Structure 1
Amino acid sequence: MKPILLTFLALFSTATFFAQAINDECVDRITITVATASVNTYSIDTATATESMDASCENAGNDNLDVWYEFTMPVNGNVHITGIPNTVSRTLFDSCGGSELVCGFDDGFFFNLSAGTTYVLRISERSLFAGGVNFNIQAFETATNNECANSTPIAVTTGGASNYNVDFRAATESMDTSCENASNTNLDVWFEFTMPVNGNVLITGIPNTVSRTLFDSCGGTELACGFDDGFFYGLTSGTTYVLRFAERVLFAGTINFDIEAFEVASNDECIDRTLISVPTGGANTYSIDTRTASESLDASCENASNVNLDLWFEFVMPVNGNVRITGIPNTLNKTLYDSCGGSELICSFNDGFFNNLTSGTTYVLRLAERSMFAGTVNFDIEAFETAPNDDCVGRIPLVIATGGANSYSFDFRSATESVDASCENAGNANLDVWYEFTMPVDGNIHITGIPNTVTRTLYDACGGTELACGVNDGFFYSLTSGVTYVLRLGENSIFAGPITFDIEAFEAEANDECVDASTLIPGVVAPVTIDFDSRGYTESLDASCDGTTFENLDGWYLFEMPFDGDIQITGANNQTSISFFDACGGTELDCFSGSSTAFGFTGGVSYYMRVSRSELFPGIDSFDVQALPAPLPTCGVTTEWIAGSWNNGAPDITKNVVIRSAYNTATHGSFSACSLAIDSGITLTVGASDHVEVAYNVNVAGTLDLQHEGSLLQRDDASVTVNNGTIRVRKTTPFLKPRDFMIMGSPMDAETREGVYNSAFIVLAHDTNNFVPNPDVATAFPSAENFADDNGDNWSPHTGLVNVGEGYLVRPQASYTDGNTTYDLLYDQGTLNNGVVTVPLVFNSTQNDSPNVLGNPYASAISANDFINANPEIDALYFWEHLTPPSPSLPGAYAMNFSMEDISMYNLMGGVAAASDPSGSDTAPNGYIASAQGFGVKALASGTAIFNNSMRRLGNNDTWRTASEEKTRLWLSVHNAEFELQNTTLIGFTSEASEGLDPGYDTKRLATVVSLYSLTENNEELGIQSREAFHTGIKVSLGFSSLVATDTEYTISINEWEGSALEGVEVYLFDSLTEE
């Protein structure tokens, strides 16, 4: 059958229905309350309405949905409706079907409603915009001063403002004044007042939408009209005036206004000007109130559209010179005239000068303020006699000397402007004075003591060529001995005042240019001191660490590097910059400010050192220079850490690294480098678990701080770490109980017992030559290894140098009773060990009587496997664990002996935990030896223990480590619960081993109270046994021993296993005694 495909089309639509409003018709109108004291809010939804009619203000072509209300007017006055949009109309009727009283859109008023009368209110919205509306309605009783005939008398006084309230919502419109827009509904209220004095009235506190109009009477002449705060001027004492305030209906609300009268000033007109005294040697102060003034005229610098209220003064000039007026704001104008109605001489705003006035002449002064800012001002006025050197022709000779500055004083307020120099703003009035001097030497002139608003300009003659121009203290450079120069000092009139300046000559230094560099022999045994005075230098160039805004005054030195190494600068001021070049005009090699180190100079090669200071900080300075031997950087690319970033990309093993600012790996991360240099005064901190890997040399001029468990690893055995600064290696011991000890070495080549172990109670060195196995221990454990001496003379108190690669017994506690805490150790003597380290291995007669104590000599962990493989005389490592306190019950040569139970061991197959470790695994060594960690070995023969960089590792520089590789291994444990005794043995399987004894893979068991061990075919008792590669069916012989004399129960179990070859394998324990 042919399939049939049927297609269905589903159509969905939505219809919304609204319940009809209950007040949809006028006959169903809702009664609402209209109050005066508060707003009442009502909600409507015009979507629920239909159209009853069209009001006069509506478009009959629209569908105008309406709802109806009625209210009784509580007072004679206005009703205000708000909260409705401009698409909603509001219409008032006297009744249903009655007369329409008023119709409008948007928020608004119904005016002049009668108390007790009921009105019908229709609210309507075009169907296009129908929706919910919340409207507010409130009544306002007609203001008592709503009409001029009912104007409210108010008091207008001098000496303080009176405050009055107005609510325009209670007003209607009486009229439109000249400054109002007649198309607006301007709601107005009326007041009257009697003027207490001849003068002005100031009204404040009204917004810029409110108009204020003054009339001579109700229905009389309009005298003035304006908006916002402002004045009515020239009112007459005793006269009554009518004041009208009006607000557009759109902004109607309440306002508080202040009104105050000001008696007209006695000097309001020029003919009534006040005579003032203008002295020299100090200012006179005068007070004005521009609110008492009116406008007489507009000066040339004023805006004629403003009302500029002015007051008038006159004075007689006491000297030829300048008058300075201060204390006036930048809105107040000062204008000088030769007489009333005469010529305007000068006009300006703010503090300032009138220059070049004539002694004995009378001048007229007008001070004017815009009415907007009118108020009180105290101004100072003072005269200054013209300086004798106000012009170049009147210049004053100066005496310029070397070896000390001469001081000169003057007052810019006595000066006028002669010229504008090239570094000045020609728009300013730059008041200037003039000097001349003859240069006593070839060199520089330094002028100090002048502020950064004063300019100094040098000319070759009056009216001649400008040679140099600058602002503030500074230099004129490369002047010629015996030549006379003209000096002009200029100051913007705004800042004019008295100045005392110093001027001094400095002879040009002989090493001012690179080609004239002075010879320098850097100190080798001790630094040499360089003294210089930058004031005798000029600028040759800007080095990379110099600023370029100001001149950098520089001097030059030529030196030959005595050997490969660094130049260290100490004692230099931070304002001094030092740069190095391979030749005059050659390549810059380094640049820094203050004390620092320049790295990588080649012995026998000549270099140039440039010393500079900014012209802002010139002067005498000194610093020390020393050459430090150090290997040269190995790679061709260098990146420097400066101010929080690398200047040539992130470091890697192919880049030399220079640390120029503080670096902490905990913040910025571990890194690798080809070589490493640390600048003097700078610290590189290597945090816990972080590392710095260096292929070749390390050069420390500053500080290298290796935190506990932090690592520094060098790869090249022949490289060195040069310590010309400070190196610190910090180690923290585990938690130590009283009498606990550590076996420790040193990562530094010159560390001493008196240094790192200065606070330690006991430090002992081991002498293998004196070791004889304790016979009691040997009798108890005839087939086991032990570290107990027959008489204790193998350990002796140590003083002096901590030999590199050797291990020492250290009790860091303060006494036998001190403990139960950790201890911080600081290695900081000498430099870091690197490369091949050798330690003699002593062999007595057997392996058991040849214990040697060694220590990791590096500031990084080493691989135990690599160490064993590199040393054929060593087949196992032994570590002391801190588990059992010493006891007189333990066998040994001392009154208090330590337990062999606390020794863990490690060979190429892996580690076995100390017998006293109840977990049987926590103290098992994992194949890494931390920095400064000591350990024991049993030498198979005389020889030399070798450490080298190939053994070093970036991580694992801590006490607890994880296994580095998977092996096929099985740890078996024996446990006695009654006496809390246990022991673990390790059996491993590898193709590197056999059934017999394999050096490095098989290790004798230790002498412990309870011991589980494996046996070879020759019955050697092994704590770690490595067998051939694993296969099912392999058999391993086990032995068990115990010094416990009583019958008790022991449990043998698999403590841990490792290796995929053992997965799913069943292990059987066969008891040869019971044959079970």
Structure 2
Amino acid sequence: MKPILLTFLALFSTATFFAQAINDECVDRITITVATASANTYSIDTATATESMDASCENAGNDNLDVWYEFTMPVNGNVHITGIPNTVSRTLFDSCGGSELVCGFDDGFFFNLSAGTTYVLRISERSLFAGGVNFNIQAFETATNNECANSTPIAVTTGGASNYNVDFRAATESMDTSCENASNTNLDVWFEFTMPFNGNVLITGIPNTVSRTLFDSCGGTELACGFDDGFFYGLTSGTTYVLRFAERVLFAGTINFDIEAFEVASNDECIDRTLISVPTGGANTYSIDTRTASESLDASCENASNVNLDLWFEFVMPVNGNVRITGIPNTLNKTLYDSCGGSELICSFNDGFFNNLTSGTTYVLRLAERSMFAGTVNFDIEAFETAPNDDCVGRIPLVIATGGANSYSFDFRSATESVDASCENAGNANLDVWYEFTMPVDGNIHITGIPNTVTRTLYDACGGTELACGVNDGFFYSLTSGVTYVLRLGENSIFAGPITFDIEAFEAEANDECVDASTLIPGVVAPVTIDFDSRGYTESLDASCDGTTFENLDGWYLFEMPFDGDIQITGANNQTSISFFDACGGTELDCFSGSSTAFGFTGGVSYYMRVSRSELFPGIDSFDVQALPAPLPTCGVTTEWIAGSWNNGAPDITKNVVIRSAYNTATHGSFSACSLAIDSGITLTVGASDHVEVAYNVNVAGTLDLQHEGSLLQRDDASVTVNNGTIRVRKTTPFLKPRDFMIMGSPMDAETREGVYNSAFIVLAHDTNNFVPNPDVATAFPSAENFADDNGDNWSPHTGLVNVGEGYLVRPQASYTDGNTTYDLLYDQGTLNNGVVTVPLVFNSTQNDSPNVLGNPYASAISANDFINANPEIDALYFWEHLTPPSPSLPGAYAMNFSMEDISMYNLMGGVAAASDPSGSDTAPNGYIASAQGFGVKALASGTAIFNNSMRRLGNNDTWRTASEEKTRLWLSVHNAEFELQNTTLIGFTSEASEGLDPGYDTKRLATVVSLYSLTENNEELGIQSREAFHTGIKVSLGFSSLVATDTEYTISINEWEGSALEDVEVFLYDSLTEELTELTTNSYTFRSNKGDYPNRFSLFFR
């Protein structure tokens, strides 16, 4: 059994079986409905059929798979089957086994079927192509005008077309006409009409697959036959004509055609020509309809294979001269003859001229249109007497003056063509008029008022040498005084019309060439004004910023630069270009259009300035020139930002950068440069968090706009920022409540209280000499840093200059009640601070009574570590945070005192958040001081605080905190939930510190209500303590103090830790009062305490 099963499976896997069609045989034919309103669709799959028979149109050698249908014809007429491919045959029988009526392939018709008769339909496909087919079947009742004997009468009228419908699917073929292919089945319908008058009939709306044929009668003579829209010509009034439309069966469908009669024009033949009047001084208008015409002849410029419908006119020329015809399309031809049947004089299409006609002569005019475009046209005709200066020998003398133009008028329509100049197209008819003039001075001639279709040509004589040729307004250059020149003006006949032109002479300017440069002394205190008239210049050269298509008329100036710096051009028209050279024929140094700045000239050196305007925009102009002192660029390579790109590659620290177009780092990115120059009228915007880094000098002739948190950083301490334009540094304060204040400095060297802080209601300057620690605060916090004065005389109202590097207490609000918003500050007086800035440090008697208030003087952030390391008199920085409103309950010299809890501090080990910061970390300083940020220091001795460029940083110019470099540090916090009090202390470990007191690394604690602090071996109480490099044998003593006069609960925990050395270390806290040991790495420690100070109560251990 197994071999049999395998054989069966093999057979099953390679054969496909189809269920046999139910109408596979004629006796099983399916009845289908054939309707007239629309087609019905039926589906078959010839793969399910077998072969019953072969029809007459099939190849009996093929296997023709067939299915069978029957239908009853609903009307007398045709059946149309569509949707079948050309591999499928369709055969019609009168019955099963009966006579084959018709057989064909592909879509097609069965014609002349009888209503009520049942027909058998066989659909068959060669087995090679067998598959699914969807076919459509529809009946069409025989058209009433299917035969000529039943032709439909139609009305053919004039003044508007009549519309008729035809469906060729309802037609059969009666005959083939002369223009049809007899091998096609041409389905035809018939009409008849009576011609209302002598003339033409136009039929439109039929496609190019439909033929139209005219007969004199049914069975009579064919008169005309054509495809597509068209005419039947020369029909006779009152005569009845038979019209046949036919469509090849392949394209049979519905059409709508229009038919209209046009009475033959009275001037359809030359012998019946219409007399028209051709005036001067204005055109006469005449109307024609070429649909009323027939073809008389073909003119020389026409295609003889076209039907050119023509009408005829005659006129008498009123003057010697030209006739111009306008208003005709480029499909219409105009031909002039000397008589009917005479010589053709000229032939052309479209508007145009007949030239050199003779006064009193009669001419015959023929207008013809190709039948395809026949329609109505209104044309204008006018005569123009020949201009007296139509030829060079008749040239008119012109008077040419300087100091004003003279005007002359003429009409090209009165001219003919004498010659073609070098700048004209010889294929055009260039109508010309002639003049002559004598040059009054050595210099240029300027002609204006002529359009760009008019040429102007200069000759040395009639028939002589052409000297220059140009189009439109323009110049003839370098003409000689006393010489007579011949001027020709020409225009293409297409555009001919009246012209008024102006002509003026301009004497050559003395400084037209570089070797003849005028001496210029640039303004220093104020600019000097240069006046020039480019119309007296010629072109010496094209500078890099000039266009090269047209002449650039230039004049030259020689100047000596009074000092190292720039040349600033103001008030110049944008059409004026200015370029600078180191010598005549030397190197171009700069080139620009309009007002701008040329940078980097050396004092004592002579330079050439070239002033230029295109010949398209000549005229008088003026501008101002001023020399501005400025440092020279430092590097040898320069790249300029012009029109959205760098002209010499992207900038870097080795390239000088010139900003010639608006630049915004928010769009185009931060960049570095060797030096930076900003052109006058141009703005460089440095966006938030973006920067511009400059190795050396900055030269601002335009505008430098530093947005809030944007940075500009110079590297070289000796370099400068020269402000010959505008510099703006914008700062936005944090959200400030009423009575909040900022400690602020200035990044500009001449800023004033009345400038940037004009809207602030309080600005105070600090005087360390008047500071005495407040005794109440000292009593409450005996071992802590005290920033509260005894009587408040250390702060006093400030006016005038904001001293560079100093910090000021600023309330930017408008009053004590204003607030709950941010405030925008604008520093724009003076120039940017750069390089070394020094500020005196006042030392009274102790560090505690020597607070000094400073401010970052730069337009970039600085490193707090670098600042501390550069200043041995400073070991910590203090920052004011905006957390607690002032209160009369806080100790101090004022009715309303601020809390010491709002001060955060920073030293070389790191930062400690303000005690009033509930997070214990958000306000911890991050080691960077933002631009214009103020801060406090406690001087260790008298001396000088130093700022320099090495401290400056590209980023971190904001008031938010970011991560510092990794160190081994531990922040411990104490928190009281009942009164919402907290304090943080920092303990760090570094090889730079010891167990003792290390300047810059150890900082006393602040006077806060609750304090957790560490102690040195000498019992100094520290808010930040730095110990030797970390090892697990280190023990740290901790103290605790509280001014809360009640027994309450406190919790000590690790707020934050940092450093790989602490990763696998357990931290233990020992309370010597309760003798409890807590592992702080995973737990916090809670205890109770009353008011008091408890030094050395706690100890910190590591394992």
**TM-score, normalisation: structure 2:** 0.96
Provide Cα deviations, 1:292-323, integer angstroms capped at 9, x if missing partner.
Answer: 11111111111111111111111111111111
Quick check: 2:926–2:961 contact (8 Å CA) kept in 1?
Answer: yes
Quick check: 2:517–2:555 contact (8 Å CA) kept in 1?
Answer: yes
Task: Provide the C-alpha distance between the structure 2 equivalents of 1:676 and 1:433, rounded to a whole number of angstroms.
Answer: 59
Task: Provide the C-alpha distance between the structure 2 equivalents of 1:975 and 1:961, rounded to a whole number of angstroms.
Answer: 23
Shift of 1:541: 0.7
Provide Cα deviations, 1:569-600, integer angstroms capped at 9, x if missing partner.
Answer: 11111111111111111111111111111111
Shift of 1:1065: 1.7
Shift of 1:67: 1.1
Task: Provide the C-alpha distance between the structure 2 equivalents of 1:643 and 1:87, rounded to a whole number of angstroms.
Answer: 67
SS in 2 for 1:7: helix
Task: Provide the C-alpha distance between the structure 2 equivalents of 1:655 and 1:531, rounded to a whole number of angstroms.
Answer: 36
Provide Cα deviations, 1:166-197, integer angstroms capped at 9, x if missing partner.
Answer: 00000000000011111111000000000001
Q: Mark the CA change 1:103 to 1:708 in structure 2 (over 3 Å): closer, same or farther.
A: same
Quick check: 2:853–2:935 contact (8 Å CA) kept in 1?
Answer: yes
Identify the range of structure 1 (53-62 vs 511-520) with the bigger mean alpha-carbon deviation: 53-62
Quick check: 2:736–2:822 contact (8 Å CA) kept in 1?
Answer: yes
Task: Provide the C-alpha distance between the structure 2 equivalents of 1:932 and 1:788, rounded to a whole number of angstroms.
Answer: 23
2:217 aligns with: 217
SS in 2 for 1:526: coil
Task: Provide the C-alpha distance between the structure 2 equivalents of 1:687 and 1:8, rounded to a whole number of angstroms.
Answer: 83
Matched, 1:142 2:157: no
SS in 2 for 1:461: coil
Shift of 1:644: 1.1
Q: Mark the CA change 1:3 to 1:902 in structure 2 (over 3 Å): closer, same or farther.
A: farther
SS in 2 for 1:926: coil
Shift of 1:14: 4.6
Provide Cα deviations, 1:879-911, integer angstroms capped at 9, x if missing partner.
Answer: 000000001111111111000000000000000
Q: Mark the CA change 1:2 to 1:813 in structure 2 (over 3 Å): closer, same or farther.
A: farther
2:505 aligns with: 505
Task: Provide the C-alpha distance between the structure 2 equivalents of 1:7 and 1:583, rounded to a whole number of angstroms.
Answer: 104
Q: Mark the CA change 1:9 to 1:20 in structure 2 (over 3 Å): closer, same or farther.
A: closer
Task: Provide the C-alpha distance between the structure 1 equivalents of 2:210 and 2:1074, rounded to a whole number of angstroms.
Answer: 120
Shift of 1:99: 1.3
Shift of 1:725: 0.9
Shift of 1:62: 1.7
Provide Cα deviations, 1:748-768, integer angstroms capped at 9, x if missing partner.
Answer: 111111111111111100010
Task: Provide the C-alpha distance between the structure 2 equivalents of 1:4 and 1:606, rounded to a whole number of angstroms.
Answer: 113
Quick check: 2:774–2:892 contact (8 Å CA) kept in 1?
Answer: yes
Q: Mark the CA change 1:569 to 1:8 in structure 2 (over 3 Å): closer, same or farther.
A: farther
1:566 aligns with: 566
Shift of 1:961: 2.3
Shift of 1:969: 0.8
Shift of 1:49: 1.2
Shift of 1:2: 31
Which segments of 5 or more consecutive residues in structure 2 lack a partner in the other structure? 1077-1103
Q: Mark the CA change 1:299 to 1:916 in structure 2 (over 3 Å): closer, same or farther.
A: same
Quick check: 2:764–2:808 contact (8 Å CA) kept in 1?
Answer: yes
Shift of 1:444: 0.4
SS in 1 for 2:5: coil
SS in 2 for 1:285: strand
Percent of residue pairs identical: 100
Shift of 1:29: 1.0
Shift of 1:646: 1.0
Shift of 1:642: 1.1
Quick check: 2:332–2:350 contact (8 Å CA) kept in 1?
Answer: yes
Task: Provide the C-alpha distance between the structure 2 equivalents of 1:860 and 1:315, rounded to a whole number of angstroms.
Answer: 90
**Over 4 Å off, 4+ runs:** 1-14
Task: Provide the C-alpha distance between the structure 2 equivalents of 1:911 and 1:308, rounded to a whole number of angstroms.
Answer: 100
Matched, 1:1060 2:1060: yes
Provide Cα deviations, 1:538-570, integer angstroms capped at 9, x if missing partner.
Answer: 111111111111111111111111111111111
Task: Provide the C-alpha distance between the structure 2 equivalents of 1:227 and 1:155, rounded to a whole number of angstroms.
Answer: 22
2:91 aligns with: 91
Shift of 1:91: 1.0
1:659-738 paired onto structure 2 within 5 Å = 659-738=659-738
Matched, 1:886 2:894: no
SS in 1 for 2:1049: coil
SS in 2 for 1:4: helix
Task: Provide the C-alpha distance between the structure 1 equivalents of 2:4 and 2:570, rounded to a whole number of angstroms.
Answer: 99
Shift of 1:165: 0.5
Task: Provide the C-alpha distance between the structure 1 equivalents of 2:9 and 2:417, rounded to a whole number of angstroms.
Answer: 95
Identify the range of structure 1 (1049-1058 vs 443-452) with the bigger mean alpha-carbon deviation: 1049-1058
Q: Mark the CA change 1:7 to 1:83 in structure 2 (over 3 Å): closer, same or farther.
A: closer
Task: Provide the C-alpha distance between the structure 2 equivalents of 1:816 and 1:418, rounded to a whole number of angstroms.
Answer: 92
Quick check: 2:924–2:961 contact (8 Å CA) kept in 1?
Answer: no
Shift of 1:254: 0.4
Task: Provide the C-alpha distance between the structure 2 equivalents of 1:875 and 1:222, rounded to a whole number of angstroms.
Answer: 121
2:860 aligns with: 860
Shift of 1:11: 12
Task: Provide the C-alpha distance between the structure 1 equivalents of 2:583 and 2:100, rounded to a whole number of angstroms.
Answer: 104
Shift of 1:7: 21
Shift of 1:105: 1.0
Task: Provide the C-alpha distance between the structure 2 equivalents of 1:564 and 1:15, rounded to a whole number of angstroms.
Answer: 99
1:177-188 paired onto structure 2 within 5 Å = 177-188=177-188
Task: Provide the C-alpha distance between the structure 1 equivalents of 2:1073 and 2:208, rounded to a whole number of angstroms.
Answer: 117
Shift of 1:158: 1.0
Task: Provide the C-alpha distance between the structure 2 equivalents of 1:12 and 1:505, rounded to a whole number of angstroms.
Answer: 106
Identify the range of structure 1 (870-879 vs 540-549) with the bigger mean alpha-carbon deviation: 540-549
Task: Provide the C-alpha distance between the structure 2 equivalents of 1:711 and 1:883, rounded to a whole number of angstroms.
Answer: 27
Q: Mark the CA change 1:554 to 1:9 in structure 2 (over 3 Å): closer, same or farther.
A: farther
Provide Cα deviations, 1:193-238, integer angstroms capped at 9, x if missing partner.
Answer: 0000111111111111111000000000001111111111111110
Task: Provide the C-alpha distance between the structure 2 equivalents of 1:854 and 1:148, rounded to a whole number of angstroms.
Answer: 114
Provide Cα deviations, 1:265-297, integer angstroms capped at 9, x if missing partner.
Answer: 111111111111111101111111111111111
Task: Provide the C-alpha distance between the structure 1 equivalents of 2:14 and 2:473, rounded to a whole number of angstroms.
Answer: 85
SS in 2 for 1:211: strand
Q: Mark the CA change 1:14 to 1:547 in structure 2 (over 3 Å): closer, same or farther.
A: farther
Shift of 1:5: 27
SS in 2 for 1:413: helix
Provide Cα deviations, 1:769-817, integer angstroms capped at 9, x if missing partner.
Answer: 1111111111111111011001101111111111000000000101100
1:44 aligns with: 44
Task: Provide the C-alpha distance between the structure 2 equivalents of 1:494 and 1:566, rounded to a whole number of angstroms.
Answer: 55
Which segments of 5 or more consecutive residues in structure 1 lack a partner in the other structure? none
Provide Cα deviations, 1:430-481, integer angstroms capped at 9, x if missing partner.
Answer: 1000000000000100000000000000000000000000000000001000
Shift of 1:1073: 2.3
Shift of 1:16: 2.5
Task: Provide the C-alpha distance between the structure 1 equivalents of 2:878 and 2:435, rounded to a whole number of angstroms.
Answer: 90
Task: Provide the C-alpha distance between the structure 2 equivalents of 1:34 and 1:963, rounded to a whole number of angstroms.
Answer: 87
Shift of 1:12: 11
Shift of 1:1072: 2.1
Shift of 1:6: 21
1:944 aligns with: 944
Task: Provide the C-alpha distance between the structure 2 equivalents of 1:605 and 1:8, rounded to a whole number of angstroms.
Answer: 108
Shift of 1:1075: 3.1
Quick check: 2:923–2:961 contact (8 Å CA) kept in 1?
Answer: no
SS in 2 for 1:380: strand
Provide Cα deviations, 1:464-522, integer angstroms capped at 9, x if missing partner.
Answer: 00000000000000100000000000011110000000000000111111111111111
1:570-649 paired onto structure 2 within 5 Å = 570-649=570-649
Quick check: 2:922–2:961 contact (8 Å CA) kept in 1?
Answer: no
Q: Mark the CA change 1:50 to 1:240 in structure 2 (over 3 Å): closer, same or farther.
A: same
Shift of 1:55: 1.3
Task: Provide the C-alpha distance between the structure 2 equivalents of 1:8 and 1:617, rounded to a whole number of angstroms.
Answer: 97
Shift of 1:9: 16
Shift of 1:101: 1.0
2:56 aligns with: 56
Task: Provide the C-alpha distance between the structure 1 equivalents of 2:768 and 2:987, rounded to a whole number of angstroms.
Answer: 30
Shift of 1:963: 2.5
Task: Provide the C-alpha distance between the structure 2 equivalents of 1:51 and 1:697, rounded to a whole number of angstroms.
Answer: 99
Matched, 1:485 2:485: yes
SS in 2 for 1:1050: strand
Aligned residues: 1076
Shift of 1:1050: 1.1
Task: Provide the C-alpha distance between the structure 2 equivalents of 1:331 and 1:632, rounded to a whole number of angstroms.
Answer: 70
Quick check: 2:274–2:312 contact (8 Å CA) kept in 1?
Answer: yes
Task: Provide the C-alpha distance between the structure 1 equivalents of 2:95 and 2:336, rounded to a whole number of angstroms.
Answer: 74
Quick check: 2:969–2:1057 contact (8 Å CA) kept in 1?
Answer: yes
Identify the range of structure 1 (619-628 vs 865-874) with the bigger mean alpha-carbon deviation: 619-628
Task: Provide the C-alpha distance between the structure 2 equivalents of 1:952 and 1:17, rounded to a whole number of angstroms.
Answer: 88
Shift of 1:1074: 2.9
Shift of 1:46: 1.1
